[in-house]
Amino acid sequence: MRLRYLALPVILAVLLAGCSPSPSEQLQANKDLVHRFVNSLNEADWDALDGILAEDFCRRSQAGPVTVKSRADFKKLQRSFYETMPDQKVTLEIILAEDDKVAVYATYTGTMTGPMGGFEATGKSLTSRFLGIFRIEENRIAELWIEMDNLAMFNQLGLSPQPAIGSD
């Protein structure tokens, strides 16, 4: 009888060990999570972000003064982007994963049909590449570092003055 009680924890340990993903499976799961994130942005499915982002999600970027310290803040920011460019699309070009991080090189496209901050809509389109690094915690995106070339974006949208070249 005593042997049966000792065997139960061993059997449970063996069964539960098979439930943990291998390192390569976890890296793929992290990349899949980033793909789900991008799909939710492309489809303007803000409710899907509830199952993708940590509640205290933080977005960091030197490219803009917007502070994002929660999932709610991020959803508000994305809604404002969508009002400016309702045809916005993110395309992942390169995606790499290591430990709890996923890095992407991606393209953002959109047409400015709505206002952006103090700027009126220009009707112009843009294509801009950017870099992002995601940190995954407990199968949710906890942090995002994103850097883009705002000057190039503003130039494409006709929002920055063009320097006169070769004129005297």
**Domain-by-domain residue ranges, the chain?**
22-157
Indicate the DSSP class of residue 167.
-
Q: Give the per-residue pLDDT at 67.
A: 85
| Distinct helix (H) and strand (E) counts, the chain | 4, 5
Give me the residues of the chain with pLDDT under 50, please: 3, 12, 14
Q: Give the per-residue pLDDT at 145.
A: 97
pLDDT tens digits, 151-168: 999 999 999 876 667 655
Q: Residue 64 contacts by C-beta under 8 Å, 6 or more apart in sequence?
A: 150
Q: Which amino acid is at 75?
A: K
Which three-class secondary structure state does DSSP give residue 3? helix
Q: Which amino acid is at 38?
A: V
Which three-class secondary structure state does DSSP give residue 9? helix
Q: Give the per-residue pLDDT at 65.
A: 73
Compute how many other C-beta atoms are within 10 angstroms of the C-beta atom of residue 63: 13
Topology of domain 22-157 in CATH is: Nuclear Transport Factor 2; Chain: A, (3.10.450)
CA 137 to chain centre: 14
